[in-house]
Amino acid sequence: MYTPAITGSGVFTPENVITNAELVTAFNKYADKMNAQNADAIAAGEIEPMQHSSEEFIFKASGIEKRYVMDKDGVLDPDVMHPLLRQRGDDEPGIMTEMAVDACKKALEQAGRSAEDVDLVICAASNHERAYPAVAIEIQQALGINGFGFDMNVACSSATFGIQAAADMVRSGSVRAALVVNPEICSGHLEWRDRDCHFIFGDVATATLIERVEDAKGPHFEILSTRCATEFSNNIRNNNGFLRRSRPDGVVDRRDMQFMQNGRKVFKEVLPMVSRHISDHMDAEGVNSDDLKRLWLHQANKTMNDFIGKKVLGREPEASEQPNILQDYANTSSAGSIIAFSKYSDDLSEGDVGLICSFGAGYSVGSVIVKRHS
């Protein structure tokens, strides 16, 4: 049995930025247009008028200030309100592969590795641009990696579930090294026309390289333990899928074909589940709250992270102990905790212990306890 370690990480950040101000302007124009088109029904009391959004509302609800996206023109067009991505031929790399390759190359460079050193690619994301062939295999080919690859989807927990799968295979000796990559085009499944959620998501890709600790060429994080859990819930759901056209009204513009959540129930049910999961994981591994130097949490909502951090540490966490990146990136689904890890881990010292945690639809939660070696 081998000991797995995270030896490199990388982040691909899109060029396009949408600020809260830009988003509010576009949404309010859309709301005005819809209210004008439905003026008679609104006057008759048949439907409610759409309310305006505001920068204050967005920041108070989430802590988000801006987000990166693959396309902003379509999102900010009141007549479109979704990304506009060019049609690609089957002989071209997919957009997720382009994002993933950038993040993977950065992770490999940080670890001092090349494609020849990798045996496995796991593309772990909340959405994949097609059913098959697996995006992971396309990424594998683009990087020139021998071995194998597969896709994984556990919604916002995909990254930590992917790390557990990779770590288990490294531990058993079935692979020497694995890339877990999380290309998240969340702008594609967000309903930008819904005031309650139009500000939540952004796009990004992250990657982590997991290999045997004895093969590490530089600073790395030994994976002490991983733990995953799921519990079925409909409170975060997207009903889009390959059977859509086979069902009555399947191809009409239906609200449930995009991201949907019952925010209050999610907040009430997920927070205790995640806090308990982390605490139980730490207890099982003999890690006390005083031993934990860093929490890299899923980046969905600042209030949620503050609550979890306080429960886990038994006090208000310092900003350095629980770094947030969602103010700049928004919710990037499975990639959020890995962005935080990649950007806020180099300063840890030899022997410092930290915990990566992601959680979301399913419900699902995954945690990874790591120790820094310099």
Number of Cα atoms under 13 Å in the Cβ half of residue 123: 27
Q: With CA atoms as reference, report the closest residue to 70 among 126, 12, 14.
A: 14
Q: What pLDDT is recorded for position 314?
A: 92
**Domains (range + CATH), the chain:** 221-373 (3.40.47.10)
pLDDT digits (tens, 9 = 90+) for 42-52: 999 999 999 99
Q: Is 346 helix (H, G, I), strand (E, B) or coil?
A: coil
Which burial class, exposed, middle or buried, applies to 231 when counting CB atoms under 10 A from its CB (0-12, 13-18, 19+)? exposed
Token pair, residue 57, equals 């509302």
Q: Encode 132-146: b = buried (16+ Cβ within 10 Å), e = exposed.
A: eebbbbbbbebbebe
Number of Cα atoms under 13 Å in the Cβ half of residue 110: 24
Distance CA 160, CA 140 (A): 20
Q: pTM of the predicted model, to two decimals?
A: 0.95
Whole-Å CA distances, 229 to 138, 153, 160, 368: 29, 14, 11, 12
For helices 336-343 and 158-172, the axis angle rounded to 10 degrees is 70
pLDDT digits (tens, 9 = 90+) for 224-249: 999 999 999 999 999 898 888 898 88
Distance CA 325, CA 306 (A): 13
Residue 58 has φ and ψ, to the nearest 5°, of -65, -50
Q: In what order do the strands lie in the sheet with 364-373?
A: 148-152, 120-124, 177-185, 203-212, 4-12, 220-230, 364-373, 353-360, 292-297
316 Cα distance to chain centroid: 25
* Residues of the chain where predicted confidence (pLDDT) is lower than 50: none
Distance CA 237, CA 219 (A): 39
Q: Are 198 and 53 in contact (CB under 8 A)?
A: yes
Identity of the residue numbered 45: G
Residue tagged active-site, from 123, 156, 186, 357: 156
Q: What pLDDT is recorded for position 255?
A: 84
DSSP string, 182-248: EEEEGGGTS-TT-TTTTTSB-EEEEEEEEEEGGG--SSEEEEEEEEEEE---SSEE---STTGGGST
156 annotated active-site: yes
Q: Is 12 helix (H, G, I), strand (E, B) or coil?
A: strand
